[in-house]
Chains A and B, each alone.
Chain A
Amino acid sequence: MTTARRKSYGVKGAPYAFLLPATILFALFFALPIGYALWLSLHKVQVKGLGLGSGARKEVWAGLANYKDALSDSELLSGAVRVLGYGAIVIPVMLGLALLFALMLDTDKVRLAPFTRLAIFLPYAIPGVVAALLWGFLYLPDVSPFYFVLDKLGMPQPNLLDGGPLYLALSNIAVWGGTGFNMIVIYTSLQAIPAEVYEAAKLDGATPLQIALKIKIPMVAPSLVLTFFFSIIATLQVFSEPTTLKPLTNSVSTTWSPLMKVYQDAFGKGDIYSAAAEAAIIAVVTLVLSFGFLRAANSRNKQEAAR
């Protein structure tokens, strides 16, 4: 009797004990920093006199002033616009290629599939900084094979690190690094489709293209939603690639992307209060966009199921 009770007590307590390390880490490195950031975002420093001596700099309540400033900050806004333009290229191209490659891998009689799958997935193992560094050199006219070829052909040589082409150059790095991972996610769910599903379509004389469009793509829709979701988050948080290209060109400013602006304000200017407010706004935009996307995707799925 007592042993039974002790055992059941042990079972009841066990999950909480198992979750203890995660809970402590969450409290220390997620909850506390988020709370502190929110606290900071609502404060500012008041400087008395020359700001020298103890007590001359005081943290005072600022209300929503930091948020108001951030929302009317033209630099932050143009950073947001730049990242939107960048995302408008990266997300469709990367996921389009990932879907295309996944469908090709899933084709009968395709050759060299293991090799190509691994090769396309390989950039995932290469740090974003190193990827940006490699591509950065490939964009430099003096060392790039592209410019060499263009030069020999007597063709005009665009400056890949300035203006509009800069977006393509940056997007290319993200596409290169991310396509393989997304391809694997989509390919895996393609593999999970049972063969019987295709049988009927084949008997009806459906072409491989029709099977891909009418059966495969709809059936991997949940994976596409997942990859979209992760891509939106990753795009809004772009930081290391433009930061890495910065030494190679004058066209990438220290505030090119919103996260770079937050970093610049916090550590360049030392204004952690404004930086915290900006970071909070980016977090809210991320949440709204990603959940908005998930809701839209879900309601579409439901509509289709209802039809």
Chain B
Amino acid sequence: MSSLAVRKAAPAAGTTPGTAQGPPLRRRIALVPTLTLLLGALYCLLPVAWVLIAATKSGRELFSTFTFLPGSGFTQNVKDLNAYRDGIYWKWMGNSALYAGLGALLSTAVSALSGYALAIYRFRGRETVFGVLMAGVLMPPVILAIPQYLLLAKADLTDSYASVLLPLILSPYGVYLARIYSSAAVPGDVVEAGRMDGASEWRIFTRIALPMMVPGLVTVFLFQFVAVWNNFLLPYIMLSDDEKFPITLGLFTLLEQGSNTPALYTLVITGALLAIVPLIALFLVIQRFWSLDLLSGAVKS
């Protein structure tokens, strides 16, 4: 197929690939789509490239040298960040890992149980339960977070790890994904065969269905991991002790203080870089296990 003539004409007209009727010897690259995608990639990578370079600059270099010129202060910046309030930065990272890891794990477990039940069984109130759970997607987080805060305050649970973990375990979107995936991946015959063999429903779920659901559940886990790692509003409302902050809230407070003491800007920038590195690494490593198509609710059988 020839290149798509959409929007922009190919800038390098001389290298325009042959059309469908053109000589077969010309290199057949869809130039416009490739260039468009490269521009998109450039746009998306630009801030990441910037923070990579900015983190190498000392406080003075940050404001005086050309932005895309590497500086000489990276090790000093990391040292400063380590030293800042006895390494509270790493505490924030650890907290984020805890919130996101444990939260996503529990959330995946609840999603798996509910999704499986909603996909496999026919029972009274099934669609009602599903509909009510799904309405949760539409609830603005703040309409939940404020009364959640007040209720948790009555239970003396605010400003605790539990206050950030518990409200995020039930994820309507996770249940939705798990339901779609179990109905596609777990055949009814297999469940029926398990029953014939006298296995309990719980056993059928854990021994037969769960292994079949693993690829879908990996997606649910990663989706929830990213959602909790990126969450800002809930910890912002729940927590006041900065020892319990996740990294998003920690960096935010650092930036807020930075508006009075610009020296903190280098700390914020270095901190932002170190905060996105593990997530990008995680992303690159597991993208092959992650069925992205599931995010759209489409399951290839």
| Contact surface of A with B, Cβ cutoff 8 Å | 7, 10-12, 14-16, 18-19, 21-23, 25-26, 28-30, 32-34, 36-37, 40, 97, 100-101, 103-105, 107-113, 115-131, 133-138, 142-145, 148, 176, 179-181, 184-186, 188-189, 191-192, 207-209, 212, 223, 226, 233, 236-237, 239-240, 243-244, 247-248, 259, 262-263, 266-267, 272, 275-276, 279-280, 282-283, 286-287, 290
Set B41, B142, B295: member contacting A181, Cβ < 8 A: B295
Whether A209 lies near B150 (C-beta < 8 A) is no
Q: Does B226 contact A (CB under 8 A)?
A: yes
In the complex, what residue of chain A is closest to B253 when comparing beta carbons? Answer: A247
Return the contact of B144 from the options A30, A110, A148, A290 (Cβ within 8 A): A30
- Within the complex, the shortest CB–CB distance from A144 to chain B, in Å, comes to 7
Asked whether, in the complex, the Cβ of A122 is within 8 Å of the Cβ of B280, the reply is yes
Closest to A122 in B: B44
A-B contact count (CB 8 A): 304
Is chain A's interface secondary structure helix, strand, loop, or mixed overall? Answer: helix
Whether A287 lies near B4 (C-beta < 8 A) is: no
9 A-B pairs closest in CB distance: A119-B41, A18-B117, A33-B147, A104-B33, A14-B201, A116-B37, A15-B121, A25-B170, A185-B296
Residue of B113, B139, B252, B296 with most partner-chain A CB within 10 A: B296
Asked if B167 is at the interface of the complex by the 8 Å CB criterion, the answer is: yes
Q: Are B36 and A100 closer than 8 Å at their CB atoms? A: yes
Do B229 and A127 touch (CB < 8 A)?
yes
**Which B residues form the contact surface with A (CB < 8 A)?**
1-7, 17, 28-30, 32-34, 36-38, 40-41, 43-48, 50-51, 54, 62-63, 66-68, 109-110, 113-114, 116-118, 120-121, 123, 126, 129, 132-133, 136-144, 146-148, 150-151, 166-167, 169-170, 175, 195, 198, 200-202, 205, 226, 229-230, 232-233, 236-237, 247-249, 251-252, 255-256, 258-259, 265, 268-269, 272, 275-276, 279-280, 282-284, 287, 292-293, 295-298, 300
**Beta-carbon contact of A101 and B144 below 8 Å:** no
Are A104 and B138 neighbours in the complex by a CB distance under 8 Å? no
Does the CB pair B295–A180 fall under 8 Å? Answer: no
Beta-carbon contact of B5 and A209 below 8 Å: yes
Find A176's partner among B34, B43, B137, B144 (CB 8 Å cutoff): B43
Judging by beta carbons under 8 Å apart, are B200 and A122 in contact?
no
CB–CB A25/B169 < 8 A: yes
Q: Smallest CB–CB gap between A216 and chain B, Å?
A: 11
The answer to whether A259 and B297 have CB atoms under 8 Å apart is: no
| B6–A226 touching, CB < 8 Å | no
- Chain B residues with CB under 8 Å of A267's CB are 237
Contact of A22 among B5, B38, B175, B249 (CB under 8 A): B175
B121 to chain A, nearest CB (A): 4
